[in-house]
């Protein structure tokens, strides 16, 4: 019930914020902030209080209620450590988004917060529901408000970006719907029980060919969202055109739903097909790392640059997931959190810069350190995080992923590690173009962070350092999930080997 | 466990200093900043001395685990400090030389607006470097390894307004990152084999896991060598160091001479078991060292920038250390690191004093005659230079370099070629050192001295000058009076060098040869630059291409620009618009074009529509009949 | 009541349908087009009746009744539209009413 | 050859001829009169085929109501003599060619289907109004109601569209400058 409350509070808060904004826009902002903070604190409280249960056999929280019994649709939500960690990330970045929009969004404030909170509700829903029908529902819930966020409050080319985002995600989402229905009917025909329940469907026996196709359907939605090269091209447009809050949520959270989907659904439901596809998927991941890094290096638009770094970082996620070992999986979990924080913060910084100098063009910036060392320092931390400096969260993630991937494929790991060098190149380019070098004309228009921006950025900085030094808090939470998923894949592998031995 | 249990204070103090300066540095007055910056490192140095005393009374290997960092599967590195003789030597140098350089910087950087930032970075550097050498596992070592890289980046680009400095900083960071990535891959390989990244575990398990000379050991060792070569500016990743001189001079002294660049030496010495397993890797280390020391030495002869001369000489001296490592003379390498740290820091600090005194003049040919105007600097610089040139008997550089040369010849893994390379290197070293001293301090005063260093700059110079003479006597060849404090001290950690039997008798001859070569170098230098004015110009004119090649560091920069920088930049530019996006844009374009094409049929004339229906019906019925 | 082969009936329906269709295609006058559509509908109704009479079922006639109903509704709306078009364009030429294009 | 068949052929021929005349006339009223002839002939065919109820409806609704409606409208339009001239100018022989060929092909296909597809069988028995009524208000009740709705919609639509308002032009036909 708690989990439903999380989502319900957000949805109700969104409606309330929309209505209230007719009379008082500031109150609407406060309502949005309060709502997200309530969720944040509640979820942190759960994480802290349920810490001893992480290693237990059950899900931490679970709630089932039959909804449309005739079609086997139930309101079933459940959270394990992984979900909880991602939920906290969601609410944290949600609060960040509300605060960074305080000054930036001035028209249709109520509708903005409505969309913002509903996106968050959709994301939170995706992270907790375990009924595939509801999963698809929430998948759409997070899509449509996001479309409005980009299309209404975005930058100059927002319509194009919004439509592109919508077409990519919607088309891939429909493929997932097909797969969900396919799975539903195959399972129904085999067993006679038609259900969308995740646990029930986990036991479904699907033929090899059918499994492959169904898996591809799921995977399509997730790798477009992740995104994996060559399905990434909606991302730079969407990220660079969205308002700051939109970029933060897109990069920090929406991309994570793709990775979560692969971990939660693709691997456990179709372990055989996943193993078959692993080498291709890892290659795509590495291609993403290198391609994203290369393109990031070539950009002149700050937000676009950061967007391409996301492509690169999500390549690591893809590489890690399909390496199938605990190190890589934990690395992926960490990468989700770390990338959410670091890229989110970089977008916040981009927003802060845009607010001051009204441009995202790197070639117009330069020499800002003198006037605004605080922004400079914060940016430095996140730039270092994005290039994988040890001591910060991203390093832990990339180290574990590559270390795990090494056990799966040497060549791909080496190629992926090359991405680290390119990451260095594009990351330092950010510092050089914005903060170092001779002072540009824009430098006089810069002012250092306001209190409101500090309130957002300082916790993010501390968190990214904290997770770099004490990553074990996250690993403890996700350990059981990771091991369970890994167990499914390993069993499938063992079965395959056994079959091969029995029928040579 | 006595005082050693407070080991965690050693890196923590500089870290606290750094954090304090980062958080509140802008609101502090300069004296407070200075006392935090220098004081934290000073306290850390004191702690090291206390710990050192305790350690000497009870030498052992101490492990202090602070907290469990990561525990995923078999990968369980913790934040743990590992103290043995090797790391003790390193942390002593780091904190002690570091403290002296901090003290020097208090005055040197006194006018700079980025005072707090400077000390924050410097403190952070000391902390990272300490973590690097104290790390009990390779992951923590890698943390320190990258941390020093970051600080090096920040400090080289300290004067960020000048794009050239930023370029040098990025170059340093990226080139070392290339090596670091190789090292990272090496870590993966080690972990895949040993299921652990704990240094002790790896070193103790390696000999039983890998056969002597097995190819996998070679690969692992070479990958680590990649990291070491990057950090220590060895071939083929050496070309960042001369540019790194763009940073403030104390930075060059601390990071790019005394400590960070020797991290590679530390790494190889620390992982000696792995390298011993692979003769190929050992030979590679030796050859890399030998070639580097030669090419850097020759480059140093042609430089006109005071700091670049020293930078190339640093590369060259580290080449000696690699040579020593390559022939298995582990203690000799560390000994040379020890002496080099003092005399090279001294030389850099002296250079800083000169540059500061001459309004940031870097060109040695516009100096001259400083002997009388900056006497303290001259004397101390001379001590350092003598040590660098390995002036026989009285300087520490002589003893450490002699030790390396001896093992290069006599060591089991040594060879004639390596020895000759070392010998030629010694000649070149003496030559460029003499050139440097003569051009800078003798002759006419070309530039007027505007500012004389105060006590906070001269005191470190004096201390370091004394040390660069004295520390040599810690390890004296046994045919003199046999002091083996260093190798004895390190004996528990590093294997002793094995020498060919029956060769000890030649030691005298070898020492004599080395001394003669050094003196010969000094004499040539004297002859070319002092006794016959204009001769060096003549030589330069005679071989312009060679001179230019040596001046440019043998064209590695141009080569790398051509091979890597240009293609990547071109590729990034070319694909800026995202080629893959073109596919989707193409699809969208086709859809729009098709829409336009079909839309023309919707012309509003009803009879056409009816006709369309009829033709459609006709087609369907025809199909129905035919199929 | 016997012995009318239904293919004759169907052929008759076909011929009438064709004639209506030719007329729709060639006419530009919108009232003539409406009339032609009526012919075609009627032909379709004939086909239903023929089929219904073959099976001796009422369904054919019922379908005819529905077609009739539809034709009535269509004619009423169509004629109203024709009136509007004529008032608007002062002509009955369909080609003049081509503004609804893509 | 029995009488039924004879009547069928005769009235069928009348229907075809009348229809041809409908589609070739230039004068609308003449065309409508031929259309009535065609409908009446078809009504006979219906009767012969054993559908007396349909025959009656054909006469009453088609030939009666619908055609009369069209005539009313033509009268309302108050067309002049030149309408006939215009019709003549539109119906040049050349416009017949394309549709003629198309329809010939279609006719040939229909004939092929009918003659080759096994549509044998004879109309045997009459189906009277009683059966039709039973069936209509039995299984087809919903369809009847739907037809009612359709008629209602048609009535309202016709009323709405046919209203003569001076200024207000229906938006479907609104002049827009493009």
Q: What's the average model confidence in pLDDT over D42-65?
A: 89
CB contact at 8 A, B100 and B345: yes
Per-residue confidence at B522, pLDDT binned at 50, 70, 90? confident
Distance CA C29, CA C26 (A): 9
Give the pTM.
0.84
The phi, psi pair for B476, rounded to 5°, reads: -120, 140
CB contact at 8 A, A364 and A357: yes
C and A interact (at least 3 Cβ pairs within 8 A): no
Q: What's the average model confidence in pLDDT over C29-56?
A: 89
For residue B501, what pLDDT is reported? 67
Distance CA C28, CA C92 (A): 8
Total domains present in chain D? 1
Structure tokens at B76: 């369980």
Structure tokens at B601: 């049929």
Q: D-chain residues within 8 Å CB-CB of C75? A: 66, 69-70
Go through the domains of chain C in sequence order and give each one's CATH number: 7-90 (1.10.287.3510)
Chains that touch D (3 or more CB pairs under 8 A): B, C
CB contact (8 A) between residue C25 and residue B604: no
For residue A444, what pLDDT is reported? 78
Structure tokens at B472: 């040599």
Distance CA B387, CA B381 (A): 10
Q: What's the average model confidence in pLDDT over D17-38?
A: 90
Angle at A163 (CA atoms; ends A159, A165), nearest 5 degrees? 120
Per-residue confidence at D178, pLDDT binned at 50, 70, 90? very low
Strands A61-68 and A73-79, sheet pairing: antiparallel
The phi, psi pair for A58, rounded to 5°, reads: -95, 170
CB contact at 8 A, A417 and B184: yes
pLDDT in tens, C65-86: 999 999 999 999 988 888 888 8
Q: Which residues in B445-501 belong to E strands, given as ranges?
A: 475-476, 483-484
Identify which of B35, B120, B135, B153 has the alpha carbon closest to the alpha carbon of residue B90.
Answer: B135
CB contact at 8 A, A76 and A64: yes
Distance CA A429, CA A298 (A): 10
For residue A37, what pLDDT is reported? 93
- Residue D42 in domain: yes
Partner-chain residue, chosen from B611, B615, B621, that has the shortest CB–CB distance to D109: B621
CB contact (8 A) between residue A469 and residue B69: yes
The phi, psi pair for B135, rounded to 5°, reads: -60, 135
Decide if pLDDT at A270 tops 50: yes
CB contact at 8 A, B189 and B220: yes
Identify which of B173, B317, B181 has the alpha carbon closest to the alpha carbon of residue B246.
Answer: B173
Structure tokens at B297: 């030495």
CB contact at 8 A, B96 and B45: yes
Decide if pLDDT at B177 tops 80: yes
Structure tokens at D174: 């609104």
B617 Cα distance to chain centroid = 82
Q: B-chain residues within 8 Å CB-CB of C95? A: 605-607
Mean of the per-residue pLDDT values of chain D: 83
C29 close contact with B: CB closer than 8 A: no
Chains that touch C (3 or more CB pairs under 8 A): B, D
Per-residue confidence at B204, pLDDT binned at 50, 70, 90? confident
- Looking up tokens 């001459």 gives B358
pLDDT in tens, B305-344: 888 888 888 888 888 888 888 888 888 888 888 888 888 8
CB contact (8 A) between residue C94 and residue B605: yes
pLDDT in tens, A117-132: 999 999 999 999 988 9
Decide if pLDDT at B279 tops 90: no
CB contact at 8 A, D127 and C58: yes
Distance CA D75, CA D71 (A): 6
Q: Which of C40, C65, C100, C102 should one mutate to test binding to chain D, selecting the residue with the greatest count of D CBs within 10 A? A: C65
For residue D177, what pLDDT is reported? 46
| Closest CA of chain D from B591, distance in Å | 25
Per-residue confidence at A113, pLDDT binned at 50, 70, 90? very high
Per-residue confidence at C64, pLDDT binned at 50, 70, 90? very high
More confident residue, B542 or A57: B542
pLDDT in tens, A364-408: 888 888 888 888 889 999 999 988 888 899 999 999 999 999 988
B621 close contact with D: CB closer than 8 A: yes
Q: D-chain residues within 8 Å CB-CB of B606? A: none
Share of chain A above pLDDT 90, in %: 36
What length does chain B have?
627
| Closest CA of chain D from B617, distance in Å | 9
Count interface pairs B-D at CB distance under 8 A.
Answer: 21
CB contact (8 A) between residue B181 and residue A471: no
CB contact (8 A) between residue B621 and residue D102: no
Chains that touch B (3 or more CB pairs under 8 A): A, C, D
Mean of the per-residue pLDDT values of chain B: 84
Asked if the ipTM is above 0.90, the reply is no
β-strand partners of A68:
A73
Per-residue confidence at B365, pLDDT binned at 50, 70, 90? confident
Mean of the per-residue pLDDT values of chain A: 88
Partner-chain residue, chosen from C21, C94, C102, that has the shortest CB–CB distance to B606: C94
Q: Which domain holds residue D134?
A: 3-82+125-173
- Could you write out the DSSP letters of every residue in A308-324? HHHHHHHHHHHHHHTT-
Residues 6+ apart with CB under 8 A from A167: A234
Identify which of B333, B245, B247, B240 has the alpha carbon closest to the alpha carbon of residue B285.
Answer: B333
Identify which of B235, B387, B236, B414 has the alpha carbon closest to the alpha carbon of residue B325.
Answer: B414
Decide if pLDDT at B288 tops 70: yes
| SS3 sequence of B13-73 | HHHHHHHHHHHHHHHCCHHHHHHHHHHHHHHHHHHHHHHHHHHHHCCCCEEEEEEECCCEC
Determine whether A327 is exposed, middle or buried from the number of CB atoms within 10 Å of its CB (0-12, 13-18, 19+). buried
For residue D103, what pLDDT is reported? 86
B614 close contact with C: CB closer than 8 A: yes
Decide if pLDDT at A157 tops 80: yes
Per-residue confidence at D174, pLDDT binned at 50, 70, 90? low
For residue D170, what pLDDT is reported? 55
For residue D120, what pLDDT is reported? 67
Distance CA B318, CA B296 (A): 10
pLDDT in tens, A162-176: 999 999 999 999 999
More confident residue, A423 or C96: A423
Q: What's the average model confidence in pLDDT over B187-207?
A: 87
CB contact at 8 A, B10 and B48: yes
CB contact at 8 A, A382 and A253: no
Distance CA C31, CA C18 (A): 18
CB contact at 8 A, B361 and B355: yes
Distance CA A355, CA A363 (A): 17
Distance CA B134, CA B119 (A): 22
Partner-chain residue, chosen from C23, C25, C35, that has the shortest CB–CB distance to D32: C35
Q: What's the average model confidence in pLDDT over A2-23?
A: 90
What length does chain A have?
504
- Longest C-alpha distance within chain B, in Å? 118
For residue C102, what pLDDT is reported? 47
For residue D171, what pLDDT is reported? 56
For residue D164, what pLDDT is reported? 67
Q: A-chain residues within 8 Å CB-CB of B142? A: 390, 399
Q: Which of C44, C95, C97, C99 should one mutate to test binding to chain B, selecting the residue with the greatest count of B CBs within 10 A? A: C95
| Cα separation values, A317 from A239, A277, A339, A427, Å | 19, 15, 10, 19
Distance CA B297, CA B316 (A): 6
For residue A199, what pLDDT is reported? 86
- Residue D160 in domain: yes
Q: What's the average model confidence in pLDDT over C87-96?
A: 80
- Could you write out the DSSP letters of every residue in D18-84? HHHHHHH-SSHHHHHHHHHHHHHHHHHHHHHTT-HHHHHHIIIIIIIIIHHHHHHHHHHHT--THHH
Q: What's the average model confidence in pLDDT over C19-41?
A: 89
Decide if pLDDT at C1 tops 60: no
Per-residue confidence at D124, pLDDT binned at 50, 70, 90? low
């Amino acid at each position: 019930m708690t989990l439903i409350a999380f989502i319900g509070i957000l949805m109700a808060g969104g409606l309330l914020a929309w209505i209230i904004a007719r009379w008082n826009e500031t109150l609407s902002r406060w309502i949005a902030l309060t709502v997200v903070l309530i969720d944040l604190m509640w979820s942190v409280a759960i994480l802290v209080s349920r810490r001893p249960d992480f290693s237990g056999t059950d899900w931490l929280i679970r709630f089932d209620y039959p909804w449309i019994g005739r079609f086997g649709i139930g309101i079933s939500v459940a959270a394990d450590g992984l979900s909880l960690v991602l939920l906290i990330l969601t609410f944290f970045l949600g609060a960040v988004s509300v605060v960074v929009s305080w000054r930036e969004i001035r028209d249709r404030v109520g509708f903005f917060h409505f969309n913002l909170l509903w996106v968050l509700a959709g994301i939170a829903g995706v992270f907790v529901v375990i009924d595939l029908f509801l999963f698809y529902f929430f998948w759409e819930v997070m899509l449509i408000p996001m479309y409005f966020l980009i299309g209404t409050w975005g930058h100059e080319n927002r319509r194009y970006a919004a439509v592109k985002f919508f077409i990519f995600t919607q088309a891939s989402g429909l493929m997932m719907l097909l797969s969900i229905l396919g799975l539903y009917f195959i399972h129904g025909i085999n067993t006679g029980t038609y259900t969308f329940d995740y646990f029930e469907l986990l036991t479904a026996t699907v033929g090899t060919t059918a499994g492959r196709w169904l898996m591809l359907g799921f995977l399509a939605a997730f790798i477009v969202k992740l995104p994996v090269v060559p399905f990434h091209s909606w991302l730079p447009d969407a990220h660079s055109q969205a308002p700051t809050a939109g970029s933060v949520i897109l990069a920090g959270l929406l991309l994570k739903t793709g990775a979560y989907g692969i971990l939660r659904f693709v691997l456990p439901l179709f372990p055989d097909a996943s193993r078959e596809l692993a080498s291709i998927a890892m290659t795509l991941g590495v291609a993403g790392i290198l391609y994203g890094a290369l393109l990031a290096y070539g950009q002149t638009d700050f937000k676009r640059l950061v967007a391409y770094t996301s492509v690169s970082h999500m390549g690591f996620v893809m590489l890690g997931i399909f390496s199938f070992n605990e190190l890589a999986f934990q690395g992926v979990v960490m990468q989700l959190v770390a990338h959410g924080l670091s890229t989110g913060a970089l977008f916040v910084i981009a927003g802060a810069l845009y607010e001051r100098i009204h441009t995202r063009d790197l070639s117009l910036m330069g020499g800002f350190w003198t006037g605004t060392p605080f922004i400079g320092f914060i940016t430095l931390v996140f730039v270092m995080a994005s290039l994988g400096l040890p001591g910060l969260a991203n390093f832990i993630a990339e180290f574990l992923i590559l270390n795990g991937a090494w056990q799966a494929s040497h060549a791909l790991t080496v190629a992926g590690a090359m991405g680290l060098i390119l990451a260095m190149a594009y990351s330092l380019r950010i510092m050089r173009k914005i903060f170092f070098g001779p002072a540009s004309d824009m430098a006089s228009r810069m002012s250092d962070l306001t209190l409101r921006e500090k309130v957002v950025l300082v916790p993010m900085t501390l968190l990214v350092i904290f997770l770099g030094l004490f990553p074990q808090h996250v690993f403890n939470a996700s350990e059981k999930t990771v091991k369970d998923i890994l167990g499914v894949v390993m069993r499938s592998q063992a079965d395959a080997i056994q079959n091969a031995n029995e029928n040579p | 466990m006595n005082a050693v249990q407070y080991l965690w204070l050693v890196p923590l103090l500089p870290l606290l200093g750094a954090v304090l300066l980062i958080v509140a540095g802008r609101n502090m007055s300069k004296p407070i900043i200075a006392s935090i910056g220098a004081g934290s490192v000073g306290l850390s140095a004191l702690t090291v001395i206390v710990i050192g005393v305790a350690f000497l009374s009870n030498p052992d290997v101490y492990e202090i685990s602070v907290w469990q960092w990561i525990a995923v599967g078999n990968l369980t590195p913790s934040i743990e400090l590992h103290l043995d003789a090797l790391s003790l030597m390193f942390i002593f140098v780091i904190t002690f030389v570091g403290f002296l350089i901090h003290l020097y910087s208090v005055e040197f950087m006194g006018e700079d607006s980025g005072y707090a930032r400077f000390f924050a970075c410097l403190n952070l550097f000391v902390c990272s470097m300490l973590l690097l050498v104290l790390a009990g596992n390779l992951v923590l070592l890698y943390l320190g390894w990258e941390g020093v890289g970051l600080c090096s980046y920040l400090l080289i680009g300290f004067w960020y307004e000048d794009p050239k400095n930023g370029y040098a900083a990025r170059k340093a960071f990226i080139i070392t990152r290339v090596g670091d990535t190789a090292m990272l891959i090496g870590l993966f390989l080690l972990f895949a084999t040993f299921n652990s990244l704990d240094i002790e575990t790896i070193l103790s398990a390696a000999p039983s896991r890998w056969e002597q000379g097995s190819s996998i050991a070679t690969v692992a060792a070479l990958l680590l060598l990649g990291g070491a070569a990057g950090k220590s500016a060895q071939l083929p990743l050496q070309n960042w160091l001369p540019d790194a001189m763009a940073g403030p001079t104390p930075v060059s002294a601390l990071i790019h001479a005394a400590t960070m660049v020797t991290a590679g030496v530390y790494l190889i010495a620390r992982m000696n078991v792995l390298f011993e397993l692979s003769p190929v890797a050992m030979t590679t280390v030796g050859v890399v060292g030998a070639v580097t020391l030669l090419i850097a030495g020759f480059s140093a002869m042609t430089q006109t920038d005071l700091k670049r001369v020293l930078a190339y000489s640093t590369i060259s001296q580290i080449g000696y250390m690699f040579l020593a490592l390559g022939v298995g003379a582990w203690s000799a390498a560390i000994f040379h690191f020890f002496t080099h740290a003092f005399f090279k820091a001294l030389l850099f600090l002296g250079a800083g004093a000169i540059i500061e005194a001459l309004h940031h003049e870097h060109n040695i040919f516009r100096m001259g005659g400083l002997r009388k105007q900056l006497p303290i600097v001259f004397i101390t610089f001379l001590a350092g230079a003598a040590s660098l040139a390995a002036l026989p008997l009285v300087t520490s550089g002589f003893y450490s370099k002699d030790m390396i040369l001896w093992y290069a010849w006599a060591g089991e893994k040594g060879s004639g070629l390596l020895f000759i390379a070392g010998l030629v290197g010694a000649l070149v070293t003496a030559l460029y050192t003499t050139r440097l001293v003569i051009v800078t301090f003798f002759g006419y005063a070309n530039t007027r001295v505007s500012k004389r260093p105060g006590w906070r700059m001269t005191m470190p110079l004096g201390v370091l000058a004394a040390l660069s003479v004295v520390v040599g006597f810690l390890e004296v060849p046994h045919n003199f009076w046999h002091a083996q404090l260093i190798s004895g001290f390190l004996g528990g950690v590093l294997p002793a060098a094995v020498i060919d039997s029956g060769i000890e008798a030649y030691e005298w001859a070898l020492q004599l040869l080395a001394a003669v070569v050094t003196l010969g170098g000094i004499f040539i230098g004297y002859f070319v630059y002092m006794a016959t004015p204009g001769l060096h110009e003549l030589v330069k004119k005679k071989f312009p291409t060679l001179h230019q090649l040596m001046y440019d560091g043998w064209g590695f920069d141009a080569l790398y620009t051509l091979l890597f920088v240009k293609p990547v930049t071109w590729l990034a530019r070319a694909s800026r618009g995202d080629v893959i996006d073109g596919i989707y844009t193409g699809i969208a374009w086709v859809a729009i074009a098709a829409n336009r094409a079909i839309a023309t049929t919707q012309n509003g004339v009803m009879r056409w529509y009816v006709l369309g229906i009829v033709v459609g019906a006709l087609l369907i019925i025809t199909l129905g009949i035919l199929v | 009541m016997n012995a009318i082969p239904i293919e004759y009936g169907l052929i008759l329906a076909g011929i009438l349908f064709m004639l209506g269709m030719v007329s729709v295609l060639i006419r530009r006058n919108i009232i003539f087009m409406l009339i032609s559509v009526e012919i075609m509908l009627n032909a379709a109704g004939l086909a239903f009746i023929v089929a219904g009479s073959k099976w001796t079922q009422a369904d054919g006639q019922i379908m005819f009744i529905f077609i009739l109903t539809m034709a009535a509704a269509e004619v009423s709306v169509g004629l109203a539209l024709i009136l509007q078009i004529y008032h608007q364009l002062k002509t009955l030429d369909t080609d003049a009413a081509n503004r609804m294009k893509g | 050859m029995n009488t039924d068949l004879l009547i069928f052929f005769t009235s069928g021929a009348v229907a075809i001829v009348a229809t041809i005349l409908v589609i070739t006339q230039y004068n609308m009223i003449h065309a409508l009169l031929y259309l009535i002839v065609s409908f009446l002939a078809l009504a006979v065919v219906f009767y012969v085929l054993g559908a007396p109820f349909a025959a009656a409806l054909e006469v009453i609704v088609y030939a009666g109501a619908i055609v009369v409606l069209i005539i009313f409208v033509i009268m309302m339009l108050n067309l002049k003599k030149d309408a006939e001239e215009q019709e003549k100018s539109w119906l040049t022989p050349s416009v017949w060619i394309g549709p003629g060929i198309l329809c010939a092909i279609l006719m040939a296909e229909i004939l092929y289907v009918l003659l080759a597809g096994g549509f044998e069988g004879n109309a045997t028995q009459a189906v009277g109004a009683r059966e039709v009524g039973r069936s209509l208000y039995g299984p087809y009740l919903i369809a009847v109601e739907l037809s009612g709705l359709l008629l209602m919609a048609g009535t309202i639509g016709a009323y709405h569209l046919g209203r003569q308002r001076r200024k207000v032009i229906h938006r479907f036909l609104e002049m827009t400058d493009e």
